[in-house]
């Protein structure tokens, strides 16, 4: 039986916020069973912001969470993707500012931090959200959907009107190994003209070639080029994995996206919450020899996500 997991030790780092440009101190700490991932604003009287879809306050440029008092934390998706990819169910994230540091624009630095802290089993069975019926949302040519499957898989397609970022598609069975090797190092990306416009408006003040792939009209401006040939679509998969972890539990099912982003991912999660017959809780999942999860106990149907 797979058990819930948390960090073995506390680990700390500093980094720059992508949008505010401020230096942020971040700590990752162990948390008890059934806590989930909880952000802790040390600069705001210890305000707590659970990483749940019901707390999503904004999806423009990044995913932003807010608690009932309006205390916010933004750019949570890369860290959440690292927790999801490594199977960490419970952790506290201490921040002395309103953003998770952007680091190098990927989840890889957070993977490194979590691995350095160590991961330990807890004494409660892991909970999964099993997709039982298709759920789909569409908006202005964008599409996001869940389908039943016996493990977690992703199929994602992007298509930008740019010669370097045209149509890319990838399908991936998401395991810890595939996440680390195939997804975690993919960096966020943006177009130079958009970056200049955002910075002129006081946004993306921490953005640079050190934490994003920057593309002008003809070329990639980063000296080292790409980490993957299709790094753009792989980063979108990473974003989706982080956004989907706002369900509070890992998913057993297939996620499909076409030109999707934070807004569409959030719209899909909220539609899933409404469509209560399309999912069920399942506990006591086992991993077979191929690493694919399968049920070893009767699923428990819940009335609402928790």
Give catalytic residues, as residue numbers.
262
Tokens of 63: 């995913």
Q: What is the rounded CA–CA span in Å between residue 24 and residue 98?
A: 8
Q: How far is CA 42 from CA 4, 89, 93, 147, in A?
A: 26, 22, 10, 39
Tokens of 221: 């401006």
Residue for token digits 């086992």?
A: 286
CA angle 305, 135, 39 (to 5 degrees): 35
- Measured from the Cβ of residue 55, the count of other Cβ atoms closer than 10 Å reads 18
- Measured from the Cβ of residue 247, the count of other Cβ atoms closer than 10 Å reads 20
Nearest to 251 by CA among 53, 78, 75: 53
């Amino acid at each position: 039986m797979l058990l819930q997991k948390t960090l073995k030790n506390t680990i700390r780092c500093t980094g720059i916020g992508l949008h505010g440009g401020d230096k942020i101190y971040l700590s990752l700490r162990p948390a008890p069973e059934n806590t989930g991932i909880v952000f802790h604003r040390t600069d705001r009287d210890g305000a707590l912001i659970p990483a749940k879809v019901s707390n999503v306050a904004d999806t423009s440029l990044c995913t932003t969470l807010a608690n009932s008092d309006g205390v916010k934390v933004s750019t949570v998706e890369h860290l959440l993707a690292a927790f999801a990819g490594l199977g960490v169910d419970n952790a506290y994230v201490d921040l002395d500012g309103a953003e998770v540091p952007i680091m190098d624009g990927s989840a890889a630095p957070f993977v490194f931090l979590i691995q350095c802290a160590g991961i330990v089993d807890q004494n409660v069975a892991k909970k999964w959200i099993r997709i039982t019926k298709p759920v789909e949302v569409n908006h202005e040519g964008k599409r996001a959907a869940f389908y039943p499957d016996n493990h977690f898989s992703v199929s994602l397609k992007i298509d930008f009107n740019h010669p370097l970022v045209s149509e890319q598609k990838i399908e991936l069975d998401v395991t810890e190994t595939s996440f680390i090797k195939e997804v975690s190092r993919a960096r966020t990306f943006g177009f130079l003209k958009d970056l200049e416009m955002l910075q002129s408006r006081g946004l993306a003040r921490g953005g640079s070639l050190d934490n994003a792939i920057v593309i002008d009209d003809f070329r990639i401006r980063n000296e080292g080029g790409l980490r993957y040939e299709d790094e753009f679509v792989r980063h979108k998969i990473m974003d989706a994995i982080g956004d989907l972890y706002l369900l509070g539990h890992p998913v057993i099912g297939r996620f499909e996206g076409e030109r999707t982003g934070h807004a569409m991912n959030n719209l899909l999660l909220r539609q899933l919450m409404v469509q209560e017959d399309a999912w069920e809780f399942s506990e006591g999942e086992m991993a077979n020899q191929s690493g694919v999860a399968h049920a070893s106990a009767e699923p428990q149907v819940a009335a609402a996500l928790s």
